[in-house]
Amino acid sequence: MSARTRRVVVIEGEDAAPEAMRPTVRLLEGLDLDLEFIHPRVGQAAIDAGESSFPPEARAAIDRSDATLFGSTSGKSALALLYLRWGKQTFANVRPARYRVGYRSPMAVPEGIDFAIVRENLEDLYVGVEGELADLAPLGLESRTAGRPLAELGPGRFAIKVITEAGTDRVARFAFELARRRKARGRPGRVTCGTKHNMLPRSDGLFLERVERLARQFPDIEFQSFIVDDLAHRLVADPRRFDVVVLPNLYGDVLSDAAAALIGGLGLAPSGCYGDDYAYFESAHGTAPDIAGRNIINPTATILSGAMMLSHLGMADAAARIEDGLARVYAKGDCLTPDQGGSASTTEFCEALAREL
Ligand code: ATP
């Protein structure tokens, strides 16, 4: 191991996720890069060994590493994910939606779809504060829309949506800087913001206001904003117009699955979560429990997440090799997984990709 060796923690996840992660790691190992893969015990493996699902050794391994490749979790590895996200403050979740020839897109003309959603990753409703409406009674809050005291609405629950100035500024800056890097590669250099500031003028209004303020520091990047429901329509009706789309957490979560559908499905959608000091990479899809154990999960999303990781670690040439190899496999189209209309197993797909590399 040299001083330049990059350490990558691998957490395989649950259900079908390991079936995509294992061949991805083999593929990366096969590229003969200066990478060391570390497999700490997390989730069920740790529980089986009599440990907690996220033992201190796993946390220490993450702290010593340069990045984590994370397989989706159904809950068993959730503590590790919470640490990767909130512990490591990975505030920008980048979810590219880029069509490649051969992807089974439902669009009549999918060519040219190439945008990236930048989802704020730590705030919004995901701060995880919920409770009984009755607990709010002492605050004497009034529903602005119903024009009645909350207490009169009857039994129910609430969730808190948090938008902070600093949290919005950092994800907005990330989005504009991403647009700048993409512009250098020939993309239009455009950031689009989506919020529901008409209904939520204070919280979503603040998000929009801070993004607008950041936009003024990036005169070379075009900026536009839409109410998020209008944006959802536009993303489907005219996806080629979009380049970088910056969104609060919940809208980003929802719209990035829709974005995946535009290009051909969840099996094709990678993601990277970036903070100031750390980044981790995972497919945008869940654990696909319905196809677990069948060796048919499409590993493309996980492999592309691995390519995003390589770029982050300064190995852009290797990332481009993987992307070009995948493009050739899809363009040939004779060895695709069932979600893409093929009959190849995950293993066969990965063998076809290995031949292209
Ligand atoms: P989560 O709540 O974690 O997002 P979920 O069960 O709602 O999980 P997914 O696990 O993403 O959602 O699966 C949704 C559907 O898409 C399932 O039918 C699943 O089999 C399919 N799917 C997801 N990822 C892939 C993939 N990589 N290859 C093939 N099918 C996939």
> Could you report the per-residue pLDDT of 254-299, keeping only the tens digit for each?
999 999 999 999 999 999 999 999 999 999 999 999 999 999 999 9
Q: Name the phi and psi angles at 325, rounded to 5.
A: -60, -45
Residue of higher predicted confidence among 1 and 338: 338
Q: Name the phi and psi angles at 40, rounded to 5.
A: -70, 155
Could you tell me which of 307, 331, 333, 304 has the C-alpha nearest to residue 318?
307
For position 332, what pLDDT does the model report? 97
For position 115, what pLDDT does the model report? 98
> pTM, whole model, 2 decimals?
0.95
For position 3, what pLDDT does the model report? 63
150 neighbors 143 (Cβ within 8 angstroms): yes
Express each pLDDT in 158-203 by its tens digit.
999 999 999 999 999 999 999 999 999 999 999 999 999 999 999 9
Q: Name the phi and psi angles at 283, rounded to 5.
A: -65, 155
CA distance 330 to 353: 9
Strand partners, 70: 11
Residue 56, Cβ neighbours under 10 Å: how many?
10
CA-based diameter of the chain, in Å? 66
322 neighbors 310 (Cβ within 8 angstroms): yes
298 lines ligand 1 (CB under 6 A): yes
For position 1, what pLDDT does the model report? 59
Mean pLDDT of 63-90: 96
351 neighbors 337 (Cβ within 8 angstroms): no
Which residues are CB-neighbours of 309 under 8 A, at least 6 positions away?
Answer: 8, 67, 69, 272, 279, 281
CA distance 67 to 280: 5
Q: For ligand 1, atom 22, name the residue with the nearest CA.
A: 288
Q: For ligand 1, atom 13, name the residue with the nearest CA.
A: 288
DSSP letters spanning 104-132: --SSS--TT-EEEEEEE-S-BGGG--EEE
- For residue 95, pLDDT over 70 is answered with yes
Q: For ligand 1, atom 8, name the residue with the nearest CA.
A: 286
For position 315, what pLDDT does the model report? 96
285 lines ligand 1 (CB under 6 A): yes
72 lines ligand 1 (CB under 6 A): yes
- For residue 85, pLDDT over 70 is answered with yes
For position 146, what pLDDT does the model report? 87
Mean pLDDT of 335-345: 97
What band does 152 get if pLDDT is binned at 50, 70 and 90?
A: confident
For position 151, what pLDDT does the model report? 82
CA distance 9 to 14: 16
Express each pLDDT in 231-259 by its tens digit.
999 999 999 999 999 999 999 999 999 99
- How many Å from the N-terminal Cα to the C-terminal Cα in the chain? 25
Mark residue 286 as left, alpha or beta (left: phi above 0; alpha: psi -120 to 50; beta: remaining): beta
CA distance 74 to 139: 37
Residue 116, Cβ neighbours under 10 Å: how many?
24
260 lines ligand 1 (CB under 6 A): no
pLDDT more than 70, % of the chain:
99
Measure the CA angle with vertex 124, ends 285 and 62; round to 5°: 55
For 205, the enclosing helix (H) or strand (E) is: helix 203-215
